[in-house]
């Protein structure tokens, strides 16, 4: 299959915060391969190169009791870089690479993402399809999805054991030396065809490729060996293996059409998930706790980002809240996830603190399962929590840094510590992080920033940043005479809450919308802005609109002060706000609260020519920033890399 | 990060004439141990590393001092004086004033020397006591002239440099004190040496036939020009008048004495003459964290004109002028006021701008010549972060 020309490999290659899950795979897999007690063959090529028993590994691990179903065999490809790990391990990776048989091989991916997946899902859900297999799949999907983030011991064990009955270590080695591609082709062609067939049915036979071969394959159902005339792999291997495991494994390699992936992996750290990569998205969907619905009209330039689906997810997640399921994340984590989803918790610090407290709670209730090591099992647990939180809302960079810190702490735990000691140590580490990196850092920032406020100043702020609010309040408490201009913008109108709190404290304020920014700017003497993150080229990643405010301020020669805790700094470099961003609810743009008459965009989703784009963040170039106020003092944006290099690593990781 | 000090230039030059200096590196300058990321001692390791950073260029600068022409009488006279006043009560200000009387010594260097003397004469018995005493002395010095940026920056840097040594964590008091004295004196010598280092560094930027615009009277700039002239470079200098102190007149007198062709401009004639100028050379009262400079009134104006005409603006400043200040605009500074003589009576109703200095933002500066090397403005902040955090 031709590589989708639309796949934009623009992900940041730094194994940074936002690529958490992928990083974990690398880490955990290396961990697994080094631990010999889990490696049957005792060498690094062992089957444990399969995503090791890590829950958060975004590999859909089906229950071992499930038969291979069509649902597992969607040709929609890999979701994460663990594929390459899988590819390196011949025990799995029976995926077909037979392009001729793929009815979609010639179809540009625009088709897949635009029409194929949404409709396909609609239909399976609506149950209008007569095809039983498709129905079956429709049912499987949620099951599988719901089982994902906590694949727990059961599946993990099965994953480890899986290769044993299938082949010996020697074979592993020999096969490994071969390219894994032929294996992939040979093993699961039939499965793949079956799946394609199902999809074709689902699409009401709209595609005319594949022909009778597929029909035959479809008739064979889940038996993957039926049509493998050319198979180098003896059929029994498939059958002998643990069915669940093999199906999980086989599904991994379905339709992976990135032959150079293994090589690429060596050179470059894993890119972040690109959401215009249909195959990966499908994988992701299957492992999600709740099957997200698709947003209809996606903006072309922002296809690679996770599309906004929160509203649709909420009811499903809520309904599952009281379900007693050992697969569920810890209730505290679940609650925080729901709060992210609904937007009850927003703002970088609030989200980070809520997440850390939830983790603290979860660690408190954590007990080491039998025959497990705390360091590894807990890391896996945290990974699963994180991936749950990601399904609720993409992580912010600050959260990524905090997670990195926590995992480093877990990894550094002394083996001699008892369970309770280790838990207590972790909990106090988390408290320390919250205290030092957020609470105290804010205090220091306030102290620094307040020295830049003089009597008679007119301070402008945009949106609602808690640090800026603290600065303004503290300056007011010190008796400084100044005026505040609160700039706000639709659709969140966060500034109104800030305005109310400032007025309650007795500050004199002006409230404008961002449209009037150039009108008000000439009377402003300082601009104070918060930030979601500061990147190492000095770019400030913050609430959308910040760049506009900073640019206008720069044009008026008004100094722009960015207030940001150092734990939000990141070594990544970003030049625009396209390649990494978060999409908000497009409906928020079409509806104006309290204006029923403004209904011109009422059914905008039905118009294929209209796309609404509600971005959450933007990137402010460092040229527009006069100063960054951080817990290390006031620094120019050019000095961010120094802080990142000198202090962040040791503080976050030690 | 580990930028070697620029004074290696001096080493090279002087090692030709003088025997290689006795360069027994003290224990503190031993190659720094690699930081083990993740070890619990990371913090101290980092501290030690920073310490090593400082002492690295210090070591080189010291080497330059040792190998260079000895300052006659400097240390001996100090020793004598020290013995003389052993019984007398010690006063920082006296010490400071003693050093300040030396004609070529900057205020900040005098302060650094005085602080070094404080450690030497201190009768403290614990490290804490000594630190408090030092702090008090440095506060006294700073209050002597609150408007002087280099004075307070020099004091801060001295405190920072001297007291921040990992040796203090484990040594006994006497050894630690000896270490402090050693570090203090070394710092003082480097500061004394800074001007020569800068002059050496900037020679590459002065080419035959160039025209240099100079604003204000800066001893560093004078040193730079003197060295260039003495090494046979042919250039001419435009001196601004430097109202109201007439600093330009003073500088032009000095330069003519060196045989450099000088043209004196009134301050408002800078833009008129900028076409002929190849580079602008200024000193600095202080170098701030953004990489900008605080200097005599009119520097900003000249930098703006030069920037708009794409002429390079070079700043010559010693590293003890690096201050932890971050002005956002011109008024974001403690003003240093100075009376202006207009020659004719001014009606009392007329307000007179009496500020003596202005702030030049980093985007209008091309390079800074310091004893740490030739830096772009953004490196100043990096250096300060490493020194202070």
What are the pLDDT digits (tens) for A346-362? 888 999 999 999 999 98
CB atoms B290 and A650 under 8 Å: no
Looking at per-residue pLDDT, the higher value among A459 and A321 belongs to A459
Q: Which ipTM score applies to this complex? A: 0.74
- The pLDDT value recorded for residue A199 is 65
Q: Name the residue among A249, A235, A222, A223 with its Cα closest to residue A64.
A: A249
Q: Which strand ranges, in their side-by-side order, compose the sheet holding B286-287?
A: B286-287, B293-296, B357-360
Asked if B388's CB is within 8 angstroms of A638's CB, the reply is no
pLDDT at A194: 62
- Chain A, 521-540: which have a CB under 8 Å from a chain B CB? 526
Task: Identify the structural domains of chain A with CATH numbers, from first to last.
Answer: 278-437 (1.20.120.420), 452-581+616-653 (3.40.50.10470)
Which residues, 6+ apart, have CB-to-CB distance to A258 below 8 Å?
Answer: A3, A78, A83, A264
Q: What is the pLDDT of residues B132-189, one digit of tens each?
A: 888 888 888 888 877 788 888 888 888 877 766 655 566 677 777 777 788 778 877 8
pLDDT at position A299 is 74
Q: Do the Cβ atoms of B385 and A412 come within 8 Å?
A: no
Asked if B386 lies within 8 A of A654 by C-beta distance, the reply is no
Catalytic residues of B: 285
Percentage of chain A exceeding pLDDT 70: 51
With a pLDDT cut of 90, the percent of chain B lying above it is 33
Q: How confident is the model at residue A321 (pLDDT cuts 50, 70, 90)?
A: low
3-state SS record for A279-347: HHHHHHHHHCCCCCCCCCCCCHHHCCCCCCCHHHHHHHHHHCCCCCCCCCCCHHHHHHHHHHHHCCCCC
Which pTM value belongs to this model?
A: 0.66
- Interface membership of A410 toward B (CB under 8 Å): no
pLDDT for position B237:
94
Q: How many CB pairs under 8 A join A and B?
A: 67
- Tell me the CA distances in angstroms from B92 to A63, B96, B122, one per residue in order: 80, 6, 11
Average pLDDT for A469-484 = 94
* Residue of B380, B381, B387 to mutate when probing chain A, most A C-beta within 10 A: B381
CB-based contacts of A337, cutoff 8 Å, min separation 6: A317, A329, A388, A389, A391, A392
Confidence at residue B122, expressed as pLDDT on a 0 to 100 scale = 78
CB nearest to B381's CB, from A454, A639, A649: A639
**Scanning the structure block, which residue is given the tokens 């960015």?**
A562
CB proximity A638 to B under 8 Å: yes
Nearest beta carbon to residue B329 from set A559, A632, A633: A559
A633 to chain B, any CB pair closer than 8 A? The answer is: yes
Question: What is the structure's pLDDT at B172?
Answer: 73
Q: pLDDT for B270-316, tens place per residue?
A: 999 999 999 999 999 999 999 999 999 999 999 999 999 999 999 99
Q: Which of A639, A649, A650 best tests the B interface by mutation, with the highest count of B CBs <10 A?
A: A639
Partners of A633 on chain B (C-beta within 8 Å) are 289, 324, 385, 388-389
Query: Is residue A559 less than 8 Å (CB to CB) from chain B?
Result: yes
Using an 8 Å CB-CB cutoff, list chain A residues near B290.
626-627, 636
Residues of A whose CB is below 8 A from B289? 633-636
Q: Which residues of B touch A408 (CB under 8 A)?
A: 38
**Which chain B residue is nearest to residue A527, measuring alpha carbons?**
B328
Range from A26-40, A277-291, A598-612, B289-303 carrying the lowest mean pLDDT: A26-40
In CATH, what is the architecture of B199-335+353-388?
A: 3-Layer(aba) Sandwich (3.40)
Highest mean pLDDT among A28-37, B32-41, B158-167: B158-167
pLDDT tens digits, one per residue of A179-230: 444 444 444 565 666 666 666 666 644 544 444 444 444 444 444 444 444 4
What is the average pLDDT value for chain A, to the nearest integer?
68
Distance from CA of A489 to the nearest CA of B (A): 27
Among residues A531, A556, A528, A526, the alpha carbon closest in space to that of A542 is found at: A531
pLDDT number for residue A447: 94
Is A295 part of the contact surface with chain B (CB cutoff 8 Å)? Answer: no
pLDDT at A625 over 50: yes
Give contacts of A647 with chain B, Cβ < 8 Å: 389
| Minimal-distance CA residue of chain A relative to B38 | A654
Identify the band that residue A554 occupies on the pLDDT scale cut at 50, 70 and 90: very high
**Whole-number pLDDT of residue A120:** 39
Instruction: Report the pLDDT value the prediction gives residue B128, as an integer from 0 to 100.
Output: 78
Kindly tell me if the per-residue pLDDT of A295 is higher than 80. no
Residue B381: its chain A contacts at CB < 8 A?
635-636, 638-639, 642
**Whole-angstrom Cα distance, residue A153 to residue A159?**
10
CB-based contact B37 A654, cutoff 8 Å: yes
């Amino acid at each position: 299959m031709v590589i989708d020309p639309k796949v934009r490999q623009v992900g940041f290659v730094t194994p940074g915060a936002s690529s958490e899950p992928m990083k974990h795979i690398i880490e955990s897999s290396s961990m697994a391969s080094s631990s010999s007690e889990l490696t049957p063959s005792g060498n690094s090529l062992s089957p444990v190169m399969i995503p090791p028993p890590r829950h958060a590994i975004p590999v859909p691990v089906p229950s071992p009791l499930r038969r291979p179903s069509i649902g597992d065999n969607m040709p929609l490809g890999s979701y994460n870089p663990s594929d390459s790990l899988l590819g390196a391990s011949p025990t799995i990776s029976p995926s077909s690479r037979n392009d001729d048989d793929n009815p979609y091989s010639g179809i540009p991916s625009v088709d897949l993402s635009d029409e194929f997946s949404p409709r396909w899902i609609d239909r399976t859900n609506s149950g209008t399809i007569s095809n039983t297999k498709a129905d079956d799949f429709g049912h499987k999907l949620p099951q599988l999805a719901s089982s994902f983030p906590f694949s727990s011991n059961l599946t993990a064990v099965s994953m480890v054991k899986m290769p044993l009955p299938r082949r010996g270590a020697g074979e592993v080695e020999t096969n490994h030396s071969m390219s894994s591609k032929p294996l992939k082709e040979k093993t699961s062609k039939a499965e793949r065809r079956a799946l394609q067939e199902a999809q074709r049915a689902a699409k009401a036979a709209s595609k005319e490729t594949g022909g009778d071969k597929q029909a035959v394959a479809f008739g064979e159902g889940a038996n993957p060996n039926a049509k493998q005339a050319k198979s180098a792999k003896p059929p029994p291997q498939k059958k002998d293996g643990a069915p669940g495991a093999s199906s999980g494994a086989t599904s991994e390699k379905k339709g992976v059409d990135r032959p150079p992936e293994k090589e690429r992996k060596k050179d470059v750290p894993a890119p972040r998930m690109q959401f215009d990569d249909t195959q990966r998205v499908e994988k992701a969907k299957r492992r999600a706790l709740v099957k997200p619905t698709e947003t209809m009209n996606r903006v072309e330039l922002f296809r690679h980002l996770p599309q906004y689906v929160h509203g649709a997810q909420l009811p499903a997640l809520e309904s599952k809240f009281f379900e007693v399921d050992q697969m569920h994340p810890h209730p505290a984590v679940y609650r925080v996830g729901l709060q992210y989803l609904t937007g009850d918790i927003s703002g970088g610090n609030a989200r980070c603190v809520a997440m850390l407290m939830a983790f603290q709670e979860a660690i408190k209730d954590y007990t080491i399962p039998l025959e497990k090591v705390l360091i590894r099992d807990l890391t896996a647990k945290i990974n699963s929590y994180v991936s749950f939180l990601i399904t609720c809302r993409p992580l912010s960079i600050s959260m990524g840094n905090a997670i990195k810190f926590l995992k480093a702490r877990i990894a550094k735990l002394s083996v001699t510590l008892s369970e309770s000691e280790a838990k207590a140590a972790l909990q106090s580490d988390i408290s320390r992080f919250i205290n030092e990196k957020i609470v105290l850092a804010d205090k220091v920032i306030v102290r620094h920033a307040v020295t830049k406020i003089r009597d008679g100043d007119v301070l402008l702020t945009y949106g609602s940043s808690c640090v800026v609010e603290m600065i303004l309040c503290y300056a007011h408490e010190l008796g400084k005479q100044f005026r505040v201009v609160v700039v706000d913008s639709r659709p969140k109108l966060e500034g109104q809450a800030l305005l109310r709190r400032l007025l309650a404290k007795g500050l004199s304020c002006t409230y404008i919308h961002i449209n009037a920014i150039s009108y008000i700017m000439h009377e402003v003497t300082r601009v104070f802005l918060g930030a979601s993150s500061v990147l190492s080229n000095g770019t400030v990643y913050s609430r959308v609109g910040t760049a506009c405010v900073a640019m206008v301020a720069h044009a008026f020669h008004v100094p722009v002060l960015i207030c940001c805790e150092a734990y939000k700094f990141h070594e990544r470099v970003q030049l625009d706000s396209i390649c990494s961003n978060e999409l908000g609810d497009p409906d928020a743009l079409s509806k104006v609260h309290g204006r029923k008459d403004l209904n011109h965009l009422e059914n905008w989703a039905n118009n294929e020519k209209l796309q609404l784009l509600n971005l959450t963040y933007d990137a402010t170039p460092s040229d527009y920033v006069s100063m960054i106020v951080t817990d290390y003092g006031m620094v120019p944006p050019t000095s961010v890399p120094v802080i990142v290099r000198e202090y962040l690593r040791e503080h976050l990781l030690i | 990060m580990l930028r070697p000090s620029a004074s290696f230039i001096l080493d090279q030059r002087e090692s030709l004439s003088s025997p290689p200096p006795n360069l027994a590196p003290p224990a503190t300058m031993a190659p720094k141990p690699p930081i083990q990321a993740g070890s619990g001692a990371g913090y101290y390791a980092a501290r030690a590393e920073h310490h090593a950073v400082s002492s690295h260029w210090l070591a080189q600068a010291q080497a330059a001092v040792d190998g260079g022409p000895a300052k006659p009488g400097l240390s001996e006279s100090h020793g004598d004086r020290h013995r003389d006043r052993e019984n007398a009560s010690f006063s920082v200000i006296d010490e400071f004033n003693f050093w300040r009387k030396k004609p070529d010594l900057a205020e900040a260097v005098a302060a650094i020397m005085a602080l070094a003397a404080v450690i030497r004469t201190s009768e403290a018995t614990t490290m804490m006591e000594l630190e408090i005493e030092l702090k008090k002395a440095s506060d006294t010095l700073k209050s002597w002239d609150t408007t002087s940026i280099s004075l307070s920056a020099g004091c801060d840097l001295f405190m920072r440099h001297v007291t921040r040594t990992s040796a203090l964590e484990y040594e006994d008091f006497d050894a630690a004190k000896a270490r402090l004295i050693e570090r203090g004196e070394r710092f003082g010598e480097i500061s004394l040496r800074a001007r020569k280092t800068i002059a050496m560094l900037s020679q590459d930027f002065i080419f035959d036939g160039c025209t240099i615009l100079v604003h204000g009277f800066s001893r560093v700039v004078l040193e730079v020009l003197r060295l260039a002239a003495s090494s046979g470079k042919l250039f001419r200098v435009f001196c601004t008048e430097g109202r109201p102190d007439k600093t330009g007149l003073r500088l032009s007198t000095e330069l003519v004495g060196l045989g450099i062709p000088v043209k004196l401009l009134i301050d408002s004639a800078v833009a008129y003459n900028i076409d002929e100028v190849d580079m602008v050379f200024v000193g600095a009262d202080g170098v701030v964290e953004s990489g900008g400079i605080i200097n005599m009134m009119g520097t900003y104006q000249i930098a703006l004109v030069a920037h708009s005409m794409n002429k390079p603006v070079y700043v010559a400043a010693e590293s003890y002028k690096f201050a932890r200040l971050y002005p956002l605009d011109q008024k974001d500074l403690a003003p240093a006021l100075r009376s202006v003589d207009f020659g004719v009576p001014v009606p009392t109703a007329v307000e007179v701008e009496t500020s003596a200095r202005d702030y030049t933002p980093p985007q209008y500066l091309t390079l800074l010549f310091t004893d740490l090397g030739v830096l772009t403005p953004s490196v100043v902040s990096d250096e300060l972060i490493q020194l202070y955090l």
